[in-house]
Amino acid sequence: MRTSWTRHHFSETVNMNLQKNKEGVYSAVAKATEQAGRPSESVHVVAVTKYVDSSIAKELIKTGIDHIGENRVDKFLEKYHALADQDVTWHLIGTLQRRKVKDVINFVDYFHALDSIKLAQEIDKRADKLIKCFLQVNISGEASKHGFRAEELPEVIQALQTLDKLEMVGLMTMAPFEATDEELHSIFSDMKELQADLMARQIPRMPFTELSMGMSGDFEIAIAHGATYLRIGSAFFE
Ligand SMILES: *Cc1c(COP(=O)(O)O)cnc(C)c1O
């Protein structure tokens, strides 16, 4: 169940539960990884802290989190600056408007939601370093979803090859909230197939070794199909 916690809602119990929730998430991830016959270091957990403020995010980091994700630029910047002393990798996982690229891009380690060529061009223009990007794929074809359609990818990759500030590390998708387990298996396995195809092409600056997929409600199925970065929020804050 996706819940939008307010700080007020759980602040009294948070210190008690964060460690327990973290251990619960990590042990479920470890179990699914083992069942998939994959090495444990091949799966990274990005803790999505959009539901909580910086002080609670800091408490969560203390439980042993090393990747933090935010979906909105303003919240990303707030956390990034408040937690500048923390040794974590920073993931911007949500839609990025072109006009906000210059405010945020040089603080981002991994950008998960590259969904247009114009956005890529703006990132290339504003970046002072190589930005690791995931191409967002709308694999289920939902009209409401951001991302490229699978059949657009060859053309998109062609267009991105001249942009030398972007490193295309992988593909990202968000499964529809109401998808059944069967649909999730099919979506994630289609993603794995697409990613493996792109990886095999060995295009310079486009390793495509990673797959960003799996959230609180579906990460076990995503792991079974090769997810390497899970984006998990609400499971930490229940
Ligand atoms: C919120 C969010 C998540 C995490 O979702 P949960 O269901 O809370 O685990 C993952 N990816 C994106 C892009 C999000 O905005």
The answer to whether the pTM exceeds 0.85 is: yes
Angstrom CA distances, 234 to 94, 101, 122, 135, 217, stand at: 16, 27, 32, 24, 9
Tens of pLDDT along 89-98? 999 999 999 9
Pairing label, strands 166-172, 210-212: parallel
Residue in 110, 212, 213, 215 with CA at minimum distance from that of residue 166: 110
46 phi and psi, to 5 degrees?
A: -95, 115
Report the Cα–Cα distance between both ends of the chain, in Å, rounded. 10
55 to 7, 126, 189, 217: CA distances (angstroms): 10, 30, 37, 25
pLDDT at residue 62 in the model: 96
What is the 112 CA–ligand 1 centroid distance (Å)? 12
Q: Which of 71, 115, 177 to mutate to test the pocket of ligand 1 (most atoms within 8 A of CB)?
A: 71
Cα 233 to ligand 1 centroid, rounded to whole Å: 6
Work out which ligand 1 atom sits closest to the CA atom of 93.
Answer: 13
> Mind listing the pLDDT tens digit of every residue in the chain (238 residues)?
444 444 445 545 555 599 999 999 999 999 999 999 999 999 999 999 999 999 999 999 999 999 999 999 999 999 999 999 999 999 999 999 999 999 999 999 999 999 999 999 999 999 999 999 999 999 877 777 789 999 999 999 999 999 999 999 999 999 998 999 999 999 999 999 999 999 999 999 999 999 999 999 999 999 999 999 999 999 999 8
With 0-12 / 13-18 / 19 or more C-beta atoms within 10 angstroms meaning exposed / middle / buried, residue 133 is buried
